[in-house]
Amino acid sequence: MIADIQHLLAAASGVVTGFVLGLVGGGGSILAVPLMVYVVGVASPHLAIGTSALAVAANALSGLASHAGARNVNWRCGGMFAVAGVAGALAGSTVGKAVDGERLLALFALLMLVVAALMWRGRADSGIEGVTCNRENLPKVTSFGFGTGALSGFFGIGGGFLIVPALIASTGMPIGRAIGTSLVAVSAFGLTTALNYAASGMLNWGLAIAFILGGIAGSVLGTLLSRRLAERKGTLNTLFAGLIVLVALYMLFRSWPALIG
């Protein structure tokens, strides 16, 4: 009975995460871990991170298929970024498994505050036009890829909110293309992290599948609403940044003793 309720809660949490991803185009995956811990009731933070990572990767693959169909993916840049990032995600997730679970949640909450600040700062950003990948920016692209991959693996997140600005900074590509291209890396990072956690028995496959199915439904709804509210994207990002702050403060309240202990 409890397991059935957990699966329903996981599906509902997936709907919320997918809806936010479809609505604001990025950052929604950072809600996956706190939802898995505080709503679904996964007692182990490590199990929640491993399970969330697989769900985020699956949802990113679904989004990638849509962007690829619209020819909105720079495969060369995405591939270069992802290869470097996979190494970072492997390293980050390995370190994350060794960190105390409650302390990991507290650090995650601090990262959420940074994410909220980035989303608020870029609420009206229309992106820039620029070049794609070449030999000159290869070191920059791979270094940015490794760094974002390490953060993604450590916290078990998709990292799209970090990957998009990193792609823009390292290649100069327009923000629209960066969003589509970022899903190559999000998928790769999530799968790397999930497999690393699964190898240590830190992944609940049933909850992950329920979360994924809910996420697919939520992303469809979010995308439809996003098209209607396109002119209010800045406002939506601002509101979502505020939501992230509230969730982060709650997580800090619950896990702060572990961080300072």
Residue 72: burial class (beta carbons within 10 Å; 0-12, 13-18, 19+): middle
Cβ–Cβ under 8 Å, residues 183 and 81: no
Give the pTM. 0.79
DSSP one-letter string for 12-73: HHHHHHHHHHHHHSSSGGGGHHHHHHHTS--S-HHHHHHHHHHHHHHHHHHHHHHHHHTT--
Contact yes or no for 111/259 (Cβ under 8 A) = no
For residue 235, pLDDT over 80 is answered with: no
Query: What integer is the mean pLDDT of 54-69?
Result: 83
Q: What kind and span of H or E run contains 16?
A: helix 2-24
pLDDT over 60 at 47, yes or no:
yes
Look up tokens 């794609």; give the residue.
Answer: 132
Q: Are 164 and 182 in contact (CB under 8 A)?
A: yes
Distance (Å, whole) CA 255 – CA 208: 24
Half-sphere exposure for 107 (CA within 13 Å, toward CB) = 14
Predicted pLDDT at 86 = 94
The domain spans of the chain are 2-260
Instruction: Check whether 59 has a pLDDT greater than 60.
Output: yes
More confident residue, 122 or 174: 174
